[in-house]
């Protein structure tokens, strides 16, 4: 099948080293400092607030949104994180997840709304989303390091790339799923497109959109270990330390920490979606 030689490797490297880094370096530096500012701010905030208060907030949220059982689980889970001395790591991971999710949502939701409205945009965006979701994350870790250096910034960027597609897709689906007769009713009473969106489509779509947000958070968490390979601090680095020193116990301790955090965040955001349904 080797009819011609495709020098994709050389082209990409030429593009990255000869143009992207020298020409666009300044741009990436400023992006980097903005993200860094966000993530440090959030991480500092989480670390500044006493662990007990954060735990109580989580327990209350779980109790209000997901019921007594999840509240008890949250209590046990937060006690676990403290007892294995992973609270700080958990907060750093949470900071990466929160910032990455924040960017995923502020970009994913409007994009999802637009693709629901304009099918031409949908045709363009869909393959890009496929690309983002299926390209092995290691592949874009390499340029992420080159452009943003090591640490939490490339971690947030690659987490964003991995976690944004469900936010876009579920928003598009949610808007398209709003029953046709409600849209017709809104039109028949003389709504503008904007009124239709904010008064009818979005409120009706919220439960499905929240399911997308929930998926975004879960995917962001699942990137924690991979992100730690490029120097992101947090629970992932504990797991990575366990892997590199073949320390089964340390791996399990860190891994369980991620699971605990994942379950708490999942149930709380699911509860948020269900609450909106009622």
Partner 1 sequence: MNKILVKNLTKVFGSNPKEGVKRLQQGQSKEQILKDTGMTVGVNNASFEVKPGEFFVLMGLSGSGKSTLIRLINRLIEPTDGEVLIDGQDITKMNKNDLMQTRRKKLSMVFQKFALFPHRNVLENVAYGLEVQGVEKSEREAKAQKSIEDVGLKGYENSYPDQLSGGMQQRVGLARALANDSDILLMDEAFSALDPIIRKEMQDELLQLQSKLGKTILFITHDLDEALKLGDRIAIMKNGEIVQIGTAEEILENPANEYVYNFVEDVDRSKVLMASNIMKKPDVITTWKDGPRVAMKKMEDAGLSSIFVVDKDKNLKGILTIDAAIKAYKENKWVEDVLELDFHTTDPMTPLSDLIGIAAESKYPIAVVEENKLVGIIVRVSILSGLVLGKEQSEGMKE
Minimum distance between the CB of residue 199 and partner 1, rounded to whole angstroms? 7
Instruction: Tell the smallest beta-carbon distance from residue 278 to partner 1 (Å).
Output: 9
- 69/179 with CB nearer partner 1: 179
∠ CA 142-132-262, nearest 5°, is: 90
Cα–Cα dist 205/170, whole Å: 9
Rounded to the nearest 5 degrees, what angle is found at the Cα of 149, between the Cα atoms of 145 and 151? 95
CB of 172 to partner 1, least distance (A): 20
Work out how close the CB of 277 gets to partner 1 at its nearest, in angstroms, rounded to a whole number.
9
- Least gap, CB of 266 to partner 1 (angstroms): 24
Residue 76 or 188 with smaller CB distance to partner 1: 188
Outline where the chain has alpha helix (H).
8-14, 21-48, 51-66, 68-83, 87-117, 119-134, 137-148, 152-177, 180-188, 193-195, 202-222, 224-228, 235-244, 248-277
- Of 188 and 246, CB closest to partner 1: 188
CB of 211 to partner 1, least distance (A): 17
- Residue 147 beta carbon to partner 1: minimum distance, rounded to whole angstroms: 43
Three-state DSSP at 179 gives coil
Whole-number minimum distance, CB 181 to partner 1, in Å?
A: 4
Distance CA 41, CA 266 (A): 24
Determine the Cα–Cα distance for residues 101 and 145; give it in Å rounded to an integer.
Answer: 20
Residue with tokens 């735990």: 55
- Do residues 214 and 273 make contact, with C-beta atoms less than 8 angstroms apart? yes
CA distances from 82 to 39, 91, 174 (A): 22, 11, 39
Which residue, 4 or 194, has its beta carbon nearer to partner 1?
Answer: 194
CB 243 within 8 A of CB 251: yes
Q: Which is nearer to partner 1, 31 or 206 (CB)?
A: 206
- Contacts with partner 1, residue ranges (CB under 8 A): 179, 181-182, 184-192, 195, 199-200, 203-204, 206
Alpha carbon distance 132, 219 (integer Å): 12
Q: Which of 7, 190 has the CB closer to partner 1?
A: 190
Of 71 and 272, nearer to partner 1 (C-beta) is 272
C-alpha–C-alpha distance, residues 99 and 155, integer Å: 10
Judged by beta carbon, residue 123 or residue 187, the one nearer partner 1 is 187
Task: Please compute Rg for the chain using Cα positions.
Answer: 21
């Amino acid at each position: 099948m080797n009819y011609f030689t495709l020098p994709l490797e050389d082209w990409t490297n030429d593009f990255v080293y000869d143009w992207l880094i020298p020409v666009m370096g300044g741009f990436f530096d400023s992006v980097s400092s903005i993200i860094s500012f966000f993530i440090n701010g959030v991480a500092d905030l989480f670390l500044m607030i006493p662990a007990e208060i954060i735990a109580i907030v989580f327990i209350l949220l779980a109790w209000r949104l997901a019921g007594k059982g999840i509240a008890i689980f949250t209590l046990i889970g937060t006690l676990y994180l403290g007892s294995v001395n992973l609270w700080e790591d958990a907060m750093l991971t949470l900071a990466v997840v929160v910032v990455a999710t924040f960017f995923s949502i502020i970009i994913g939701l409007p994009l999802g709304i637009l693709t629901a409205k304009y099918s031409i945009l949908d045709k363009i965006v869909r393959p890009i989303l496929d690309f983002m979701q299926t390209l092995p994350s290691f592949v874009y870790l390499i340029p992420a390091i080159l452009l943003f250096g090591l640490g939490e910034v490339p971690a947030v960027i690659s987490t964003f790339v991995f976690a944004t597609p469900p936010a876009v897709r579920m928003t598009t689906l949610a808007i398209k799923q709003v029953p046709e007769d409600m849209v017709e009713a809104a039109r028949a009473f003389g709504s503008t497109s904007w009124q239709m969106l904010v008064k009818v489509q979005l409120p009706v779509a919220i439960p499905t959109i929240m399911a997308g947000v929930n998926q975004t958070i879960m995917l962001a968490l699942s990137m924690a270990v991979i992100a730690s390979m490029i120097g992101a601090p947090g629970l992932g680095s504990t797991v990575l330390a366990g892997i590199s020193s073949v320390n089964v116990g340390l791996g399990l301790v860190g891994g369980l920490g991620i699971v605990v955090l994942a379950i708490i965040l999942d149930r709380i955001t699911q509860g948020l979606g269900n609450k909106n349904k009622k």
